Chain A
Amino acid sequence: MKTFKKIEAAHYLASVLLLIGLFHKQFIVVRPNRIENGYDIDLMNAIKGDSLLMALLLLMIVLISLSYRLYYSKKINKLMLMFMYLGIFGMCFFLNGKIASSVLVSVGASGRASLGIGAWSIIASVILLMWQFTNGQGYYKLWILIGSVSIVLGLYSLEWLIDISLVRELSQKSDRIVGEIVRHMQLTFAAVISGMCLSLIMSYGAYRNPRIERMVAGIASFAQVVPTLSLLGLLMIPLVYLSTQYPLLRQLGISGIGFFPAYIVLTLYTLLPIINNTLAGFNSIPEHVIEAATGMGMSHRQVLWRIQLPMAFPSIFIGFRIALVQTVGNCTLAGLVGGGGIGTILFLGLAQSAPDLVLVASLLIVLIAVIFEVILSSIEMTVNQKLRGDLYYE
C-alpha cells in the first residue's frame, strides 16, 4: 500500500482515462449528417492502416510514460517537462483532428465526426497530467495555459481540426460566437465593476458601523440565496413599471427584458464574495496600526486611502477574483432573457437539439472562467510578493 501511494493519485486516474480512451468502443461517432444518428468507431479501427497515425499514437504513449519517469526522477527539469506536456497535448489534438478527417472520407462532405467518450477520455487524461504538473508550481500554470491555448489555436488555423464536428460548428458560426463572447465579457465586466464599487462602499460602512453590517449582510445573502431566474422574474415588475412610466428610462435601454435586468442580477450576485472578503481584509488590520496612523495626525480619509485599503488589498483582490469567475458562469442565464452572451448559443443549441453547439458554448464558458482564474491568481501571487516587501505586516 505504501508504494502504491507513492505515485500521485492524478497519475493513476490519468492512466485509467488513457486506457479507456485506447480501448473504449466509442472513440469517435460518425454521422452521415448533422441530425441523423451515427455509429461508433473505436481507436484501433480508426487508425488501422494509417501508419503515420499509428506511429504518432505510439509516440504519444511513449512520451506519456517518459513524462511519468521524469516527474518522479530527483533531477527534475521543469521547463523540459512543461514542453513535453505541451507536446503531448498538441499531439493529442492533432491525432483527434486527423482521425476525424480519415473517418469522414467514407461518409462524404455532409458527414459529421463527433468526439466520443474515448477521445474525451484521452483529452481529459492529458489535461489531468498537466494539472498535476502545475499543482503548486506558481507561474507554470499560466505558461501551460498560454501554451495549450495557442497550440489549439495554431492547429485550428492550420485547419487540422476542421473535421471535428465541434470545430466545424464553431467555425460556421464564428462571427456570431465572437460577438456573443464580446457581449458576455461586457456583461461580466460591467456587473463585476459596479458590484465592486457598491460592495466596497457597503463594506466600508459595515466596517465602521455594526448596524450597517447587519443590513449589508442581509442584502448580500438575500441576493446569493434567491435563484437567478427567480430574481430576474421579481425584477421584471419594477423595471417594466419604470420603463412604462418614464419614457426617458426606456430610451436608455431600461426594460424588463434584455441587457439591463441581467446586468442588475449579476451585479447583485457579485456582492457577497466581495463584501465577505473586503470585510475580512479590513478586520485583519491590527488595531495598533490604525491607532499609530491616527496618532500621526492622519484624517479618516487618509487612514482609509493610505492604510486600510492597501492593507486589505490582497483580500479584496481574492473577492474580485471569485466574483469574476463566478459571474462568467452565472452570465449564461442572460441568454434566456435576451441579455446576450454565450448563453444565447447554449439555449440555441438546446432548442435545435444540437449537442455540439451546447458543448461549444459550455466549453467556451469553462475556458474563459479558467483563463480568468489562472491569470488573476498569477497577478495575486505577484502583487502579494511585492506587497510583502513593502508593508509592515505581522
Chain B
Amino acid sequence: MSRITKNLWIKEVLTLLVLLVFIYGYKSLEPFLKAVVGIDKDSVEWAPLYTLAGEYLRVVILSSLISLLIAIIIASIVHLLQWGSLKDLCLALGSFGTTFPTIAVIALLVPSLGYGFKPVFVGLVLYGVFPILNSAVKGFEQIDPAIIEAGEGMGMNDLQRFLKIELPLAIPTIMAGVKTSVIINIAATTVGAVVGAGGLGMPIVSGIRTNNPVLMLKGAIPVALIALLTNQLFKRLEDGLEWRSL
C-alpha cells in the first residue's frame, strides 16, 4: 500500500489540490472560515487571492533562481582556484550571513530601495546565496579524489573535468542548500509584507495588525501549503538524485 501511494505521488497531489481549491475558491470558503472562527469582521479586498499567490510565487522562484546562479558561479570560481583560505572565508561568511535575521536584511535595504517588492527581492537574492554557497563549496570538496584522478587519466582537461565530473557529483549536496534557501525565501517573502511588498504575507500581516483571525488564515493556510509542497517536491528530487547516483 505504502509503495503504491509513494508511486502515485498522492501526498503531493493532495497538497496541491487543497492549495488550488483554497486559492481559487476562497470567496466561497470565507463564510465557512468565519463560522469556524466565530468572528465576522469585514476586511478590505485588495486583490483576489490568486493574484496575491501569483505575485508571491514569482518573487520566491525568481529570487531563488538568481541566488542559485550567483552561488554556483562563486562556488565554481572558488573551487577552480583551489585556494584553501578563500574557501574558509566563503564558508565563514556563509555561516555569518545566516545569523542576520532576514527581516533585518530587508529592512536595511528599504532606505536605498524604497518600500515595496524591490527591497524584498534584493534581500532574498542576497540572503539566499549563503546556504547554497555553503553547500556548493562543501559539495565540491567532498568529491573522492580518486574519481577526479580517473578523469584526468582519461585525458580530460580542467574544464571538462569540472563540467563532466565535479559539477554532476556535487549536485545532490548543492540541492540540499537550494532546499534550505527556498524554504528560507518562502518565509522571508511572507515577512516582506511588513515593508509593503504584496503577496500572501499581506493578509497575514494586516490580520495581525487588525486582530482578524480570518484574514490571517487567508494568508497563513496557502503559505503553509506552499512550504509543505516545496518540501515534498525537494524530497522527491533528492530521492531521484540519490537513485541516479547509485
Q: Does B220 contact A (CB under 8 A)?
A: yes
- Least CB separation from A11: chain B residue: B85
Number of residues of chain B lying within 8 A (CB) of chain A: 44
Contact, CB under 8 Å: A233 / B104? no
Stretch touching chain A among B62-70, B169-177, B203-211: B203-211
Contact, CB under 8 Å: A366 / B99? yes
* Residue numbers in B under 8 Å from A241 (CB-CB): 38
Shortest beta-carbon distance from A346 to chain B in Å: 6
Per the 8 Å Cβ criterion, residues 212-229 of B in contact with A are: 213, 216-217, 219-221, 223-224, 227-228
Shortest beta-carbon distance from B70 to chain A in Å: 17
Specify which of B89, B111, B219 is in contact with A13 (CB 8 Å cutoff). Answer: B89
Specify which of B81, B89, B100, B190 is in contact with A362 (CB 8 Å cutoff). Answer: B100
Contact, CB under 8 Å: B101 / A325? no
* Max chain A C-beta neighbours (<10 A), residue from B107, B190, B191: B107
- Least CB separation from A335: chain B residue: B103
* Residue numbers in A under 8 Å from B187 (CB-CB): 227-229
Q: Give the number of residue pairs across the A-B interface with Cβ within 8 Å.
A: 135
How many of chain A's residues touch chain B, expressed as a range?
35 or more
- Least CB separation from A361: chain B residue: B104
A interface: dominant SS: helix
Per the 8 Å Cβ criterion, residues 82-112 of B in contact with A are: 83, 85-86, 88-89, 92, 99-101, 103-104, 107-108, 110-111
Instruction: Add 18 more A-B contacts to A8-B89, A227-B187 (CB < 8 A).
Output: A131-B92, A225-B231, A227-B190, A229-B187, A229-B191, A229-B201, A229-B204, A230-B190, A233-B207, A233-B216, A329-B99, A333-B191, A346-B104, A358-B108, A358-B110, A362-B101, A362-B104, A365-B100
21 contacts between A and B (CB under 8 A): A8-B85, A9-B85, A10-B85, A131-B92, A225-B231, A226-B223, A227-B223, A229-B191, A230-B223, A233-B207, A237-B213, A240-B213, A244-B38, A257-B208, A336-B205, A346-B104, A355-B111, A358-B108, A362-B100, A366-B104, A373-B99
Question: Interface of A with B (CB < 8 Å)?
Answer: 5, 8-10, 13, 131, 135, 221-222, 224-234, 236-237, 240-241, 244, 256-257, 325, 329-330, 332-333, 336-337, 343, 346-347, 349-350, 353, 355, 358-359, 361-362, 365-366, 369-370, 373
